[in-house]
């Protein structure tokens, strides 16, 4: 399908290009998909004003009615799933199965949020004073700024937006300038849904296209009490102090350097399947991508040669081809970063299997690579870094204790996994002295989180939580209330304060 037809089906119409526009190129073949104008200062200011006005109206709409809007948006996403999934693939280079999966994540979080809209609640607590009731209430906090990354151009935004809307908050969204078309399509679908049902305030969603300067502008603006930002650790270090300087609330989803530990009792066929997807899916461009494999010496000789064989057979190619499992890297910069890391690994004595550029018919300007396995290195400074590409460092360990020490020694703390059939080892891994990550899995890889659980990590990963569980609380303000239904005024802590 022609990209113009695809965008038109999703309700996106773009003005004629100008010299200041962002050129959006497909990683599949380097072709120009479209040119998108960056938001002007006046457009940014207008969006923030609209969001503030929308908040004042939306916060008093009953939460179940807010949830109904999100429910209807989920229905629209179901109807547009094929087209939106294809657009994600064309713009990011992830295989079509993953593009469709991203839209399904959006649908799932809409379902979750619609149900949540009838469950948002506080606590009633026992008061020490007769005739008093002590309560905690949750109130809408205000417009939420969402800064999203190229690798998940829609799903992670939806984790934030669906919850923010049912909590009573409008959303101002700055997508990655590499993938603005998906954002514009998501917005067009939402605006259509908002116009078809009961009246909703204008300004519940604004999309602003721009680069780092726009992100800093949003981070600095007190009219956005919450900023949810997904990206690199460097991005988080740049934005977090700006948000903190105005006492804003930051939800940070930053880098990952995810590890998996393979114990002697592990089911190796299961390990192979889990590692293959976790380390090479999305061409290694997930925050939850498996980057370190810590293999017990008792099974190293059995497992690692089998992985080498699987890597050699991986179908790398056009992500719209249903037989492809690994599509292209996002751009030349990602390719160069991967090659630099592999060159450093070789110079340090590492043995590299794969990593070479792959020629793909009709994809000569795309950056396709064979995923790489690197053996023979200790956990060096290179291994401590996150290279956003399909590189898996394989480390030999002699015990679970050694594996945990190495696993937890990196700065990042997003996702982790353990492969074992030993119950005690699983309990050790999930216990307080086990994995130090926000996500810890047993007998599956670190990637592929479900929306029902809160998503996020510790340490340099930022500490934020999005999606399920009680992540909704980040989009609201807590109010502690005491109601006196008596004619007396006893003071807390038994204090006596009487004027004689």
Query: Each residue of 447-485: b (16+ CB within 10 Å) or e?
Result: bebebeebbbbebbbbbbbbbbeebbebbbeeeeeeeee
Exposed / middle / buried, residue 331 (Cβ in 10 Å: 0-12, 13-18, 19+): middle
The widest CA-to-CA distance across the chain, in whole angstroms, is 94
Distance of alpha carbon 205 from alpha carbon 130, whole angstroms: 46
Active-site residue, selected from the candidate residues 287, 386, 425, 437: 287
Q: Based on the residue annotation, tell me whether 287 is a catalytic residue of this protein.
A: yes
Rg (the chain; Cα; Å): 25
* 116-119, long-range: CB < 8 A, 24+ apart: 116/67, 116/163, 116/166, 116/472, 117/63, 117/64, 117/66, 117/67, 117/68, 117/70, 117/166, 118/63, 118/64, 118/67
Q: Which helix (H) or strand (E) holds 180?
A: helix 180-196
For the packed helices 212-220 and 233-245, what is the interaxial angle rounded to 10 degrees? 30
Q: Which residues contact 33 (CB under 8 A, 6 or more apart)?
A: 3, 24, 25, 26, 90, 91, 181
Q: Which residues contact 318 (CB under 8 A, 6 or more apart)?
A: 28, 324, 327, 360, 361, 362, 363
Strands (E), 237-346: 249-253, 258-262, 290-296
Active-site residue, selected from the candidate residues 253, 375, 386, 466: 253
Q: What are phi and psi of 203, to 5 degrees?
A: 100, 10
Q: What positions carry a catalytic annotation?
A: 253, 287
């Amino acid at each position: 399908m022609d990209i113009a037809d695809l965008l038109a089906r999703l309700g996106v119409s773009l003005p004629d290009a100008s010299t200041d526009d962002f050129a959006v190129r497909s990683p599949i073949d380097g072709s120009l998909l479209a040119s998108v104008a960056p938001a002007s200062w006046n457009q940014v200011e207008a969006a923030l004003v609209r969001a503030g006005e929308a908040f004042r109206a939306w916060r008093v709409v009953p939460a179940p009615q807010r949830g109904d809007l999100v429910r209807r948006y989920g229905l629209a996403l179901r109807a547009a799933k094929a087209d939106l999934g294809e657009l994600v693939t064309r713009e990011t280079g992830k295989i079509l199965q993953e593009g469709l999966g991203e839209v399904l994540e959006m649908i799932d979080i809409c379902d979750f949020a619609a149900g949540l809209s009838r469950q948002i609640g506080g606590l009633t607590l026992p008061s020490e004073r007769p005739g008093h009731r002590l309560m905690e209430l949750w109130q809408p906090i205000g417009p939420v700024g969402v800064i999203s990354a190229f690798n998940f151009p829609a799903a992670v935004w939806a984790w934030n937006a669906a919850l923010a809307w049912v909590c009573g908050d409008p959303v101002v969204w700055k997508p990655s300038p590499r993938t603005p078309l998906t954002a514009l399509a998501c917005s067009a679908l939402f605006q259509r849904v908002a116009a078809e049902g009961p009246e909703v305030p204008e300004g519940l969603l604004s999309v602003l296209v721009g680069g780092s300067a726009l992100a800093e502008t949003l981070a600095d603006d007190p009219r956005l009490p919450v900023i949810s930002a997904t990206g690199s650790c460097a991005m988080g270090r740049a934005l977090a102090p700006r948000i903190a300087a105005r006492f804003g609330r930051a939800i940070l989803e930053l880098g990952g350097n995810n590890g998996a530990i393979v114990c002697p009792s592990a089911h190796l066929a299961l390990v192979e399947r889990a590692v293959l997807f976790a380390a090479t899916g999305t061409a290694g461009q997930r925050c939850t991508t498996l980057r370190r494999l810590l293999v017990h010496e008792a099974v190293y000789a059995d497992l690692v040669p089998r992985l080498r064989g699987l890597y050699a057979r991986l179908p790398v190619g056009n992500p719209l081809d249903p037989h492809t499992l690994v599509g292209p890297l996002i751009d030349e910069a990602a390719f160069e970063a991967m090659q630099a890391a592999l060159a450093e690994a070789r110079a340090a004595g590492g043995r590299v299997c794969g990593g070479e550029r792959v020629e793909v018919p009709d994809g000569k300007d795309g950056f396709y690579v064979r995923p790489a396995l690197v053996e023979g290195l200790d956990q060096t400074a290179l291994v401590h870094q996150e290279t956003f590409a399909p590189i898996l460092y394989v480390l030999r360990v002699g015990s679970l204790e050694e594996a945990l020490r190495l696993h937890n020694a990196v700065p990042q703390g997003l996702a982790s996994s353990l492969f074992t059939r030993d119950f005690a080892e699983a309990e050790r891994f999930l216990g307080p002295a086990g994995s130090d990550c926000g996500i810890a899995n047993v007998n599956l890889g670190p990637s592929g989180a479900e929306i029902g659980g809160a998503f996020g990590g510790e340490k340099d990963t930022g500490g934020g939580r999005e999606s399920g569980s009680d992540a909704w609380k980040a989009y609201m303000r807590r109010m502690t209330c005491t109601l006196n239904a008596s004619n007396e005024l006893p003071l807390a802590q038994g204090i006596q304060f009487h004027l004689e």
